[in-house]
Structure 1
Amino acid sequence: MNRKKITALALTAAISAAVLAGCGSSAASSAAPAAASAADSATTDTAASADLLSQIRERGTITVAMEGTWAPWTYHDENDNLVGYDVEVATLIAEKLGVEPEFIEGEWDGLLAGLDAGRYDIMVNGVDITEERAEKYDFSEPYAYNRTAVITKGDNDTINSLEDLKGKKTANTISSTYAQLAEQYGADVTGVDDLNQTFELLNSGRIDATLNAEVTFYDYTKEHPDANVKIAVLTQDANEVAIPLRKGDETATLREAINTAIDELRASGQLKDLSEKYFGTDISSND
C-alpha cells in the first residue's frame, strides 16, 4: 500500500472518530439534564408524600382523635351526636384547611399511642402542654386555657391545698395531667376510663377527690345541680391547651396551617363564642 493511500485512510478514521466523539458528547449532555430533571422530580414527589398536610388535602379529610366522653369538651348529646367545644374547634380548623374532619373516638390512654402510630393526624381533646409531652410531640399554639380544680364532696374539709392530697385517694385517667399532678403531691390515684366513672367514685365515697379542669366542674354541676361536690382547691396558673402532633418535618406545614387557623378563629371571635357556649366563660384567652 502506498503512502498516499495510508494517509487518506488515517485521515478518514480520524474524522470518523471525531464525529462519533461529538455524537457521544451530545448524547451525554442531553441525557444529563434529563437525569437531573428526573431526580428533581423524584425528590419533589418524595417531599410531597412526606408532607402530612399535602396528604390530608389530597384525601380531603383529617383524622381527629378524641374521647367523646368528656363534657363539655367532647361528648354525645341526647341524640347520640358527637358534640362539644373540641368537636366544634376541630371542625372549624378542618374548614380552614379545606378538608372534612373524621372523628375517631377512644379511651384517653390509647389516643396519644394512636397518634404515635400514625392512626390519627391530630388529637383535639383538651390536651395540656407539659414538659414531658413537649419532648415527644410538637404542639400547636394554645387554643384554650384552664385552671386545675381539686374537687371533693361538699362536706369534705380535709383538703384545702395540693399538699393535703398526700395519702388521699383520687381518680383520673392514668396518663392524664391531672393524675400526674395528684401523684406528684402524694395521692393514691385510681385509674378510670372517663369522667362519669370519676364522679361515681367520688359521690359513692370511694375516693376523696379528683383533679380536673375548673370548667369541667362547672359543667358537671350545671347538669347535676343537686350534686354534693365542691372545688376545694383551685390552682392560680392556667394550663395551656393545644393540639399535639407527631414530631418531624412531615408535620411542620400542618402545624403552621393549624396555628394560622387558630389565630384567625381567635381574631374573629369564634373561639370566644364557642367558649361561652360550652363553658359559660371565655377560655380562649389567658387574660
Structure 2
Amino acid sequence: MRPRSAAIAAASVLAALAASGCAPQESSGTASGTSASASAGAPASCAADALATKAKGKLTVGTDTPAYAPWFQDDDPANGKGYESAVAYAVAKRLGFAEGDVVWQKVAFNNAFAPGAKTFDFDVNQVSISEDRRKAVDLSSGYYDVRQAVIALKSSKAAKATSLADLKGAKLGAQVGTTSLDVINQQIRPDRQPAVFQKNDLAKAALKNGQVDAIVVDLPTAFYITGAEVPEAKVVGQFETTGGAKEQFGLVLDKGSPLTSCVSQAVDALRSDGTLAAIEKQWLSDAAGAPVLK
C-alpha cells in the first residue's frame, strides 16, 4: 500500500508487474478496462433515475483513507485509477451514472461493515464476503477473487518458509477485522498470538522494525509493498483456498438496501462481459510467481 511519497516508484513497479501478465477473472470479454458493453443500459428498474440513492441523481461511494495502491492511485479514489476505483466507476456506468455523478466519501474500513445505517450507497474497500458480515450489511456479488499472501524481511528466518509448518513458530501480524488475520489463526495456527494492527501501515512499520517476523495481506498488496515500499522484504508465498469456496471482495451496502440487487446485477454483468478481467489485467499483478504454502 502506498503513501503519496512513493507515487513515482510505485508507477514503475506496477507497470513492470502488469507487463508480466496477470491471472484475470474468468470471463470472455474485451481487452479494455472500459468495454463498450459495460456502458449498455441497465434494466429499467435499475436505471439511475429509478434508484433510491442517498442523493438524488448521485451515487455515493465510500472507501477508507488513505486509499492505497494497487486498489487506488495517488490517494485519490475519484481519479478512476487503481483496481477498485475503476470497478466503482464501471458499476456506476453500468447503472447509468456519469463519472461526474459519483461522489466519494471517506469511511473507515471497520465502519463500512459495522451494524447501523450507512451514509454511502455502496462501499468499496477490499471487504471479503462472509455470512457473519451479511448479518449486519448487504454485500454484492464478488468483484474480485482474493488470495492472501505472507511477507517477510529477506534477512529473516520466515523468508525461507516453504510450508505452513515453517511459519508456526514465527511472530505474525495482520490488520484487525480482515481475512488476512483469519488466515493466520485458521490456516497457520501459530504457536504465538498474532499481532493485530488497526491499519496495514502499522503492520508494515512493525515488520520493518522487527516487531513481527512476517505479515499477511492480500496478494496484490503484497506485491506492491515489497516492490515499492519495503524492498528489503519479499513475498514468501500465497495461501491456497480452503473449504472449496473462493474468498471474494464484495461491495458493501446498507442492510436491506433497495440497491443491492441492482448493484449485484451490475457486478455480474461486468464479470460476464470481461470488464472485470480487463480491469484486473490493467491494475493487478500476476500471482504465478508466488509459491503456494501448504
**CA deviation after TM superposition for structure 1 residue 61, in Å:** 1.6
Question: Could you say if the C-alpha distance between residues 80 and 59 of structure 1 is closer, same or farther in structure 2, counting changes exceeding 3 Å?
Answer: closer
Counterpart-to-counterpart distance in 1, 2:111 and 2:80: 19
Aligned equivalent of 2:174, options 163, 172, 175: 172
**CA deviation after TM superposition for structure 1 residue 127, in Å:** 1.3
**CA deviation after TM superposition for structure 1 residue 110, in Å:** 2.4
The reply to whether residue 214 of structure 1 matches residue 219 of structure 2 is yes
Kindly provide the amino acid, as one letter, of the partner of residue 197 in structure 1: L
**CA deviation after TM superposition for structure 1 residue 167, in Å:** 5.9
Check the 8 A contact 1:169/1:207 in 2, yes or no. yes
Q: How many residues align?
A: 226
Question: Could you say if the C-alpha distance between residues 61 and 190 of structure 1 is closer, same or farther in structure 2, counting changes exceeding 3 Å?
Answer: farther
Question: Could you say if the C-alpha distance between residues 246 and 165 of structure 1 is closer, same or farther in structure 2, counting changes exceeding 3 Å?
Answer: farther
Check the 8 A contact 1:168/1:188 in 2, yes or no. no
TM-score (norm 1): 0.67
Structure 1: tracts of 5 or more residues without a match: 1-47, 283-287
Question: Could you say if the C-alpha distance between residues 91 and 79 of structure 1 is closer, same or farther in structure 2, counting changes exceeding 3 Å?
Answer: closer
Percent identity between matched residues is: 25
Q: CA RMSD in A?
A: 3.1
TM-score (norm 2): 0.66
The reply to whether residue 62 of structure 1 matches residue 59 of structure 2 is yes
Any idea what the Cα deviations from partners look like across 1:217-237, whole Å, max 9, x if unmatched? 12223324x712223342111
Question: Could you say if the C-alpha distance between residues 132 and 78 of structure 1 is closer, same or farther in structure 2, counting changes exceeding 3 Å?
Answer: closer
Q: Which moved more, 1:175-184 or 1:163-172?
A: 163-172
Question: Could you say if the C-alpha distance between residues 101 and 161 of structure 1 is closer, same or farther in structure 2, counting changes exceeding 3 Å?
Answer: farther
Aligned equivalent of 2:270, options 265, 272, 280: 265
**CA deviation after TM superposition for structure 1 residue 160, in Å:** 4.3
Counterpart-to-counterpart distance in 2, 1:219 and 1:261: 28
Check the 8 A contact 2:71/2:83 in 1, yes or no. yes
Check the 8 A contact 1:151/1:230 in 2, yes or no. yes
Counterpart-to-counterpart distance in 2, 1:78 and 1:61: 19
Highest RCO, 1 vs 2 (Cα 8 Å, sep ≥ 6):
2
**CA deviation after TM superposition for structure 1 residue 198, in Å:** 2.1
Structure 2: tracts of 5 or more residues without a match: 1-44, 288-294
Question: Could you say if the C-alpha distance between residues 70 and 261 of structure 1 is closer, same or farther in structure 2, counting changes exceeding 3 Å?
Answer: same
> Which has more radius of gyration?
1
Counterpart-to-counterpart distance in 1, 2:206 and 2:102: 34
Q: Which moved more, 1:77-86 or 1:93-102?
A: 77-86
